[in-house]
Amino acid sequence: MPRVTLYLLFFLALPLHAAERERADWAAEFSAQDAVGTIIVVDERTPDKTTWVHNPERAAQRFSPASTFKIPHTLMALDAGAVKDEFQVFPWDGTQHSYAGHNQDQTLRSAMRHSTVWVYRGFASAIGEPKARAYLQKLNYGNADPSVDAGDYWIDGKLAISAEEQIAFLQQLYRNQLPFKIAHQRLTKDLMIVQAERNWILRAKTGWEGRYGWWVGWVEWPEGPVFFALNIDTPNRLKDLHKREAITRALLRSINALPAAH
């Protein structure tokens, strides 16, 4: 094999953290929110695709994806035929859930917006563990292990992914490079829209395992996307959940990846 090709393959195989630049100043925002965690930001608006990180050790550590898994899970469900499209209605069975948004009929769009676990629990049942494992391995998603003793494997099971791996997955989704139909990737990205203005779109998904929480996604600009993956401890449980977006938005504003708050 030619030396140039070998070098290229070696370069492509380098872990994300090989090009990371640690941002010690970002610790102040975590301290201001009384939060412990990590964040990676990859700014592809810059020629060198600048990668910044707070707490690189934790950024390489795997955690349960919790509801950030709804992103790949949606692709899996569409591919497996567990859901036809964004218009299919999933009837609520009347079981009362603590979050009011779960106590109603759902579509893919509302299930993503409200993070409706019971809809995705149905997808997991329809797909089955062997096929889920095959999908995860095909995606190279974290440790690709959907096994669980009890509960939902993306919350209570062995499935785990790092912030670095979240970024790599999101970059492939952004470019429609995942092993799924492009139409399904485009639909999933549409479902992820959190906020949009004339010249930028924020696509993201929260996740919460109980002990820690996620916010992952990207901001699309005409100059290119800015990817992010944040993971923080949530010792105060629900009282800590707002910190996920608060920290991320503040740091994205600091690099002009989001406009200043009004």
Query: 40: part of which helix (H) or strand (E)?
Result: strand 37-43
Judge whether 41 and 251 are in contact, CB under 8 Å: yes
The reported pLDDT for the residue numbered 30 is 98
Nearest Cα to Cα of residue 196 among 163, 218, 176: 218
Instruction: Tell me the average pLDDT across 83-107.
Output: 95
Q: Is the per-residue pLDDT at 11 higher than 80?
A: no
| Residue numbers annotated as active site | 67
Instruction: Tell me the average pLDDT across 64-77.
Output: 98
| Residue carrying structure tokens 């872990």 | 15
- Give the distance, in angstroms, between the CA of residue 38 and the centroid of all CA atoms in the same chain: 14
Q: Domains (ranges, CATH) in the chain? A: 26-254 (3.40.710.10)
**Residue 261: pLDDT band with limits 50, 70, 90:** confident
Alpha helix segments (H runs only) across 55-181: 56-59, 70-80, 108-114, 117-127, 129-139, 163-174
The reported pLDDT for the residue numbered 99 is 87
The reported pLDDT for the residue numbered 260 is 87
Q: What percent of the chain has pLDDT over 70?
A: 92
Side-chain half-sphere exposure of 9, counting CA atoms within 13 A: 6
The reported pLDDT for the residue numbered 10 is 38
C-alpha to C-alpha distance for 23 and 50, rounded to whole angstroms: 12
**Residue 101: pLDDT band with limits 50, 70, 90:** very high
Q: pLDDT by residue (tens digit) across 118-148?
A: 999 999 999 999 999 999 999 999 999 999 9
To the nearest whole number, what is the mean pLDDT of the chain? 93
C-alpha to C-alpha distance for 262 and 188, rounded to whole angstroms: 29
In this prediction the pTM is 0.91
Q: Is the per-residue pLDDT at 112 higher than 90?
A: yes
- Number of other residues whose CB lies within 10 A of the CB of residue 113: 16
The reported pLDDT for the residue numbered 136 is 98
Q: pLDDT by residue (tens digit) across 164-201?
A: 999 999 999 999 999 999 999 999 999 999 999 999 99
81: left (phi over 0), alpha (psi -120 to 50) or beta: left
CA distances from 170 to 163, 174, 185, 198, 249 (A): 11, 6, 11, 23, 18
Q: pLDDT by residue (tens digit) across 200-242?
A: 999 999 999 999 999 999 999 999 999 999 999 999 999 999 9
The reported pLDDT for the residue numbered 181 is 98
The reported pLDDT for the residue numbered 12 is 41
Which of the pair, 68 or 99, is modelled with greater confidence? 68
The reported pLDDT for the residue numbered 262 is 65
